[in-house]
Structure 1
């Protein structure tokens, strides 16, 4: 073989050997592991009343496949463990809510990297108690005056301050202790009622005109103590006080995020619909800097 051709052949062999060596030495690229995400909370987290239901969920939890945790997981590719359950109170984080339904905090561990929850509305039966009491009073007066406020005064807000606030704060502390490396977001509750009475809404939400701001004030106090508990535990609070304005249960279908007590579309009334759950997910993603 001529010397020039031999040199070319040797050079080609050296290049090939070098390429193989580089290939062997290079680290193998691995796809990023999905975010480990645990969803906790009550019916506003579970999306109770929105079809289709989650086939993996206990029947009593009324968990929807379209709840905001599923929307968040779909947008981020997170590996979701959803233990949300309709009717949950803060005590159900540490004890079984129903037979065969483990304490919600059992799902949270040191490897958890994201936790979301909505909780507090069922403690002291705040939501159902206020709505039933004020709805009954509103029907009795034909929607006039403020009979519920006259009957109950500060009772609901006193219970929120005295009982719900410390319970929510303790729940957030337990979550952070179990998952110290996780981002934790506790969501407020979207507005159920407008700031003042809408006469056209009485048939759907039979609250007396003077009690509409009273009931809204109860919800505002609940959200305020949840926000305070979040600040004091280093938790992200997802605030809906502005974004859900104009999307309350008195609005038309397609605009409202929460369904009314009567003539709504959800199986469970006075709860977010599918649009509301999507908007709750989007606001949470924004607050956490995800998605």
Structure 2
């Protein structure tokens, strides 16, 4: 969610279950046994598709080819969740996600994001020499919700003493934006399934998971950090993001997952207690970036507009926590779950009803 570089959009996550077969020899039949799991050749692979929530925006150390080279600002990071997912038999992780990607670029078609073509089409190329067993998708926040514009409105609201909370304006058509987003997400998910079906995959050969977004900011932050040193938003707006915005967006994406017949991972409450600025003077406990400025980029005309792109996205620890939850979810057959903090302080995959009932 590069251009949208926003909290809501920003985050957060989804996962899939690994299916492993066994070689079977029947009697004296010398026919080569079926390959376990997905068809084809190559390493057993987990793939992420989507926007900044999965590309690694905010996690730093972006690959050179996605950090502005020739106009590519996908910001893929080696610290992204896909590189930390642990699944039996999986030896390869591939990150196709691109910051700012809309549903149109994730599905089949001609839409590009930061010079890159369709992610579904990239997947079609990947399955020629990789056996894809799990795909995690994050999509929707860069479509009708238009977080890039909303974050600007909320910043302006904070900056102007006489301004109204931006959430007051967002409320007017927030649900209609989500409703308009849902069919676009469904279409993108169906395109991903079409690519795998064309490659000879059956529904039992892989798992496809749609994840929702975390609320990376909270009203429960120190007053002295509600500024350019941390989280420059009005308290009313911070509360709306956490209590309403992320929850409503999650329900829209849950509907999309059901319509597309894929698994669903609820991230709406995954950042609780670890939001940006929640640590006060000690940001080490936070799983999301604060308002972040790459000062050197301000002196480069080609990089100037991307100087605050990392703001309010999961940091490296946030991605590690997401990967922990994804790994657990992918190891189950549950159709849906929620990433919630456990007694050990880490994220775990819990029955999604827990998150819904505790709102």
Q: TM-score range by the shorter chain?
A: 0.7 to 0.9
Confirm or deny: 8 A CA contact 2:56 2:80 kept in the other structure: yes
Aligned pair 1:105/2:105, yes or no?
Answer: no
1:132 matches 2:141: no
Question: 2:273 maps to which residue?
Answer: 246
Tell me how far 1:267 sits from its aligned partner.
6.4
Question: CA 1:76–1:189 in structure 2 vs 1: closer, same or farther (change >3 Å)?
Answer: farther
Deviation at 1:68, TM superposition (A): 0.8
Single out whichever of 32-41 and 201-210 deviates more from structure 2: 32-41
Deviation at 1:75, TM superposition (A): 8.1
In 1, Cα distance between equivalents of 2:50 and 2:182:
15
Q: Does 1:120 align with 2:140?
A: yes
Of 277-286 and 191-200, more deviation after overlay is shown by 191-200
Which one scores higher on RCO, CA 8 angstroms, separation ≥ 6? 2
Q: Deviations over 1:2-56 (max 9, x none)?
A: xxxxxxxxxxxxxxxxxxxxxxx9x9xx999742332211111111243322246
Matched with 2:343 is none
Provide TM-score, normalisation by structure 2.
0.64
Pick aligned residue for 1:225 from 238, 247, 252 = 252
Q: CA deviation at 1:79?
A: 2.3
Q: What is the match of residue 270 of structure 1?
A: 312
Q: Quick check: 2:121–2:195 contact (8 Å CA) kept in 1?
A: no
Which residue is equivalent to 2:168?
150
> 1:90 is matched with which residue: 66, 87, 103?
103
Matches within 5 A, 1:199-238: 199-203=223-227, 204-216=230-242, 217-238=244-265
What TM-score do the two structures reach when normalised by structure 1? 0.77
| C-alpha spacing 1:76/1:206, structure 2 compared with 1 (3 Å) | farther
Q: Give the direction of change, closer, same or farther, for the CA distance of 1:102–1:151 in structure 2 (3 Å limit).
A: closer
Q: How far is 1:102 from its partner? A: 2.3
- CA drift at 1:176: 2.2
Q: By how many angstroms is 1:124 displaced?
A: 2.8
Partner secondary structure for residue 249 of structure 1: coil
- Number of aligned pairs? 261
1:104 to 1:263, Cα distance in 2 relative to 1, 3 A: closer
Cα distance in 2, alignment partners of residues 188 and 152 from structure 1: 19
CA deviation after TM superposition for structure 1 residue 87, in Å: 1.0
Deviation at 1:112, TM superposition (A): 2.9
| Gap change, CA 1:139 and 1:107, over 3 Å in 2 | same
Distance 2:286 2:114 in 1: 35
Q: CA RMSD in A?
A: 3.2
**Is 2:50 aligned against 1:41?**
yes
- Give me the whole-angstrom Cα distance separating, in 2, the residues matched to 1:51 and 1:85: 14
Q: Is the 8 A contact 2:221 2:278 kept in 1?
A: no
- For residue 190 of structure 2, the aligned residue among 156, 167, 173 is 173
Report SS of the residue matched to 2:190: helix
Unaligned runs of 5+ in 1: 1-24
Deviations 1:152-196 (A, max 9, x none): 4322332122x2111112211222232243211222222222255
Shift in alpha-carbon separation, 1:74–1:182, aligned structure 2, 3 A: closer
Distance in 2, matches of 1:227 and 1:60, equals 29
- Structure 1 segment 19-38 matched on structure 2, within 5 A: 34-38=43-47
* Corresponding residue SS for 1:112: strand
User: Alpha-carbon deviation of 1:260?
Assistant: 1.9
